[in-house]
Chains A and B, each alone.
Chain A
Amino acid sequence: MSAEGHDHAMDHEHEHHHKDTFITKYIFSIDHKMIAKQYLITGIIMGIIGVGMSMLFRMQLAWPEESFKIFNILLGDKFAPNGVMANDIYLALVTIHGTIMVFFVLTAALSGTFSNLLIPLQIGARDMASGFMNMISYWLFFLSSIIMIGSLFVEAGPASSGWTIYPPLSALPQAIPGSGMGMTLWLVSMAIFIASSLMGSLNYVVTVINLRTKGMSMTRLPLTIWAFFVTAIIGIVSFPVLLSAALLLIFDRSFGTSFFLSDIYIAGEVLHYQGGSPVLFEHLFWFLGHPEVYIVLLPALGITSEVIATNSRKPIFGYRAMIMSIIAIAFLSTIVWGHHMFISGMNPFLGSVFTFTTLLIAIPSAVKAFNYITTLWKGNLQLNPAMLFSIGLVSTFITGGLTGIILGDSTLDINVHDTYFVVAHFHLVMGISALYGMFAGIYHWFPKLFGRMLNKNLGYVHFWVTAVCAYGVFFPMHFIGLAGLPRRYYTNTNFPLFDDLQNVNVLITVFALIGGAFQLVFLYNFFSSIFYGKKAVQNPWKSNTLEWTTPVEHIHGNWPGEIPEVHRWPYDYSNPAHDVDFVPQTVPMKEGEEVLHH
């Protein structure tokens, strides 16, 4: 069998005359596996920057206006004279942290890595539908990352009107220095980013629809693929709207139009704008902004489904219900954006509608959570680091999701809107959860990505410290939000009313710093294992899906011989009709074996 496979590999090589130079193999590669690695490593670097920024502003919040040498080293004399952080750079850090984490890490790096790696491998395709477009997609992402990082170095500072860039603040350099060149670069970077994201998404959708191997019906797709597929569709539907908002904002900023601006008096003069509305921008922004949450979350849930099933040695519970809930979440996600705008000044009647649709999302979400828990029940859990992160995801997804019932209810939102309660909620439910999903994916598919294993003990340490710190940071944060503390305040010292929250802020920062520092363990594990990790076997986790039938060494076209045919769904773990506890999708049905789920 293996010898035969080898021959096929030789034939394959022969047929195509692949002569890879360094540039075509590592830089302008059109191979989906290499592009996945490029996305991952770019994303990790962006992640280091994004998380690093949060450490800085957390220090400012815990010890306001205190002098830290590191501020001066990192932010320079202009923004941290004598090591004291300036108020405008604080807002810039918050803004860029949000932008980087939401878009560059949890959208581009998460989808970019795992959709690219897994879609062809798990559906049985030689590569993406368009390898060239895939390459362009990565390089546009890279370019937008460079521009975003570049914006940190412009003289007046980077964009600092919050990651939601609401005009007029983001439109008027008179209102905040970051809305000058910094904002221009932000918009250019995001426009390129959206182009990249759309190319990637189109590719994912086309590939899943057209390139599935023989026997791989839609109801035999692993849930990862379902999640990536639906995510890509949400992206295609909603990202263009953000692009349009960004373009209109560029027009308002540079060409004197008044889409979002009206009746403004600033810096001693009346501006010419008339007739526009900032609320229109909010609608356009959140039409992407809310689906974006699910663009971030669904891939993480997809990864979790796969990791939990494999490591529980059990079928994922309710495969069809899981697919339906993914679709339901995707559909609902496009009609709930107004819950970010209950108190924006829009008609309160709309608030009622959006409360209704928003709380409906809790139903498919609950189905998913209960299905995960039931999958664990009576399993034979292999508690690998990936599995721990997946269980961690379910935990934070529940904790963070439940407070969504408060924020999605317009009446309750009145008083917690834009407080730290919101910050705690969305960091748990999308930030930490999606990050856990990404970590689970990295630990699980590292052998597939790099042909080596990550050190599991470092993985365990990484998980447990992260898990404790994540709750340590965000659980107390709910309380200071319920105490009425607004987010995006550079310091709370001007409000004696909030003096009793300061100790909590210090505790949060201590947990954040420890949690942040322990990500170094992961970085060390990741980069050293690429080169020195233990060699991986072909199917280390004894998984059913197709990617583990490819050789450990990456080759063009993924399979040395024919693409294997698929005969069953991906979750035949511990099937009583078989002796082993996993039955790969390529194993034909036994005579008389019952088809349980199709």
Chain B
Amino acid sequence: MTSLLVIIVLVLLAVALWQLTKIFDLTQVGSNSDSSEIATDNDNNVQGYLMFGFLAFIYIFSIYGLFKWGPLVLHTPASAHGGEVDNLMNITWVLIFIVQAITQVLLHYFAFKYRGKKDQKALYFADNNKLEAIWSVIPAVVLAGLILYGLYAWTNIMFVDEDEDTIVIELYAQQFNWKARYSGEDNVLGKANVRFIEGANSVGVDLADPYAQDDIVVTELHIPKGKKILFKMRSQDVLHSAYMPHFRAQMNCVPGMVTQFAFEPIYTTAEYRELPFMVEKVANINALRSKKSIGLVAKGETALDPYTFDYLLLCNKICGASHYNMQMKIIVDTPEDYKAWLKDKATIVNEVKAAMAEPAAADGASGTDSTKTKDTAVVSVMAMK
């Protein structure tokens, strides 16, 4: 059935092509055979009008796109610095649209207006320093403004003051998942290196480091609203990139070094879900999903779950075959909820201890041998420290 469809489409395409060449052929009756592959006045006429038509196409397509796809793009930023980023973005867009609108009109309109005619003589106009100066200086001035604004915003976003009050959290990347390590009461992350990875100590924390004693490792990221979070990023294997689009935040995770990015969330997950644009977006997505589900159910598969919005941390640097599914949910809580959530989390030191104790308690039970040997190794690492 599909192949039949494909054949029909191909045949139709071939016919369309043949018809198109036919049309162009008809426009050149009586042309001289020696130069018959060179544009005649007729060709110039047809192609000139097509240029004009193409201009219309660009315009209509752009406007259509803005209305149709404009609502899909990232909306209200969920971080404090995001407003500045979006502001700069909007200014840049306005400039781009102005330049684009003018230059495309000039280009295609000239191509139409000055299409060749036999008795037309081109103007011998080779140089004009004044014009060259105008279109060097105007872009230079406009760009100077953009550069200054950009650099101002960049400096504000990227440089975190040492004595600024932040919560330090480590984002830990590995093929193909994310973990987060909270620095605990002391707000300092304990030393870490992949050489410490062993059993339950999955992110390679130096368990002997005093700063590491209160560190907490989790697989779901909770952060409090209204507080600047300083993310320290690490990777254990290849390059990853911690991309948090709603917060206008992104930084690569590089094996062998610690990178960082800081931002302050300004909407809790619950608040962000209630924003009108988000309600609309989620409704739209769910409409699409239930439509798709009908087809799935008809094929005997299970229907898709309805979607609720959550902030996401995505991997945005190619990192292996399952790169496309390396994500972690981010939950922005109120400060109280955040404290409550964090309170009963076990520290990594305790988790490692518990993991070591567990097989001892279940001694004799089958299937724990491999964990046991790994955990013994952890003990030896700790002993070395």
Contact = CB atoms under 8 A, between A and B. Distances in A.
Interface of A: 69, 87-88, 91, 161-162, 166-169, 172, 175-177, 261-266, 270, 274-279, 312-321, 343-345, 348, 351-352, 355-356, 359-360, 362-363, 366-367, 369-374, 376-384, 387-388, 391, 394-395, 398-399, 402-403, 405-406, 409-412, 414-415, 417-419, 453-458, 460-461, 464, 467-468, 471-472, 475-476, 479-480, 482-484, 486, 488-492, 494-497, 499-504, 517-518, 521, 533-534, 537, 540-541, 571, 573-576, 581, 596-597
Nearest to B27: A457
Contact of B107 (A277, A395, A475, A575): A395
B114 A479 contact: no
A383 B110 contact: no
Contacts of A497: 285, 307, 309, 312
Contacts of B294: none
A47 B33 CA distance: 33
B122 A380 contact: yes
- The secondary-structure label for the interface of chain B is helix
B314 interface: yes
A345 B242 CA distance: 11
Given A348-B159, A411-B88, A504-B72, A279 B257 contact: yes
20 contacts: A275-B256, A279-B257, A315-B126, A318-B127, A321-B132, A352-B154, A363-B139, A367-B135, A380-B116, A381-B114, A395-B107, A398-B104, A409-B147, A412-B92, A414-B249, A415-B85, A476-B65, A500-B288, A501-B72, A581-B122
Contacts of A483: 72-74
Given A172-B238, A264-B194, A456-B39, A362 B104 contact: no
Contacts of A345: 233, 251-252, 254, 257, 259
Contacts of A476: 65, 69
Contacts of B3: 69
B48 A381 contact: yes
A314 B72 contact: no
B237 A266 contact: yes
B245 interface: yes
A363 B20 contact: no
A571 B126 contact: yes
A457 B21 contact: yes
A411 B37 contact: no
B146 interface: yes
Contact of A499 (B20, B43, B116, B307): B307
Nearest to B305: A496
Contacts of B194: 263-265, 270
B61 A475 contact: yes
A388 B47 contact: yes
B115 A381 contact: yes
Given A264-B256, A348-B155, 19 more contacts: A168-B255, A175-B320, A176-B320, A261-B256, A278-B239, A351-B154, A363-B143, A376-B114, A380-B122, A395-B107, A417-B250, A418-B317, A456-B39, A457-B24, A479-B65, A486-B316, A533-B37, A537-B35, A574-B124
B187 interface: no
Contact of B237 (A175, A317, A320, A356): A175
B252 A500 contact: no
B107 A381 contact: no
A573 B116 CA distance: 14
A71 B7 CA distance: 17
Contacts of A270: 194-195, 197
A213 B314 CA distance: 59
B318 A169 contact: yes
A312 B48 CA distance: 13
Which of A480, A486, A502 gathers the greatest number of chain B CB atoms within 10 Å?
A486
A575 to B, nearest CB: 6
A161 B136 contact: no
Nearest to B236: A265
A367 B318 contact: no
A391 B51 contact: yes
Contact of B95 (A168, A263, A377, A405): A405
Contact size range, B:
35 or more
Interface of B: 3, 13, 17, 20-21, 24-25, 33-39, 43-44, 47-48, 50-51, 54, 57-58, 61-62, 65, 69-70, 72-74, 84-85, 88-89, 92-93, 95-96, 99-100, 103-104, 106-108, 110-111, 114-117, 120-128, 131-132, 135-136, 139-140, 143, 146-147, 150-151, 153-155, 157-159, 174-175, 193-195, 197, 204, 233, 236-239, 241, 243, 245-246, 248-252, 254-257, 259, 261, 281, 284-285, 288-289, 304, 307, 309, 312, 314-325, 327
B107 to A, nearest CB: 5
Contact of B88 (A373, A391, A412, A502): A412
A317 B309 CA distance: 54
Contacts of A518: 17
A557 to B, nearest CB: 27
Nearest to B18: A461
Given A261-B255, A414-B157, A500-B281, A479 B73 contact: yes
Contacts of A575: 124
Contact of A348 (B34, B70, B158): B158
Which 4 residue pairs across A and B have the least CB separation, nearest first?
A262-B256, A484-B245, A348-B158, A453-B37
Contacts of B327: 494-495
Given A411-B88, A415-B74, A415-B248, A383 B238 contact: no
A488 B318 contact: yes
A169 B73 contact: no
Nearest to A394: B107
Contacts of B175: 175, 266
A541 B154 contact: no
B20 A461 contact: yes
A351 B147 contact: no
Contact of A406 (B89, B255, B257, B325): B89
A117 to B, nearest CB: 19
Contacts of B21: 457-458, 461
B122 A489 contact: no
Given A370-B135, A415-B74, A343 B252 contact: yes
Contacts of B135: 366-367, 370
B122 A373 contact: no
A164 B303 CA distance: 39
Contacts of A471: 57-58, 61
B65 A475 contact: yes
Contact of A320 (B50, B85, B127, B147): B127
A376 B110 contact: yes
B288 A317 contact: no
A169 B126 contact: no
Nearest to B246: A484
Contacts of A321: 132
B256 A373 contact: no
Contacts of A177: 321
B257 A168 contact: no
Contact of B37 (A279, A355, A534): A534
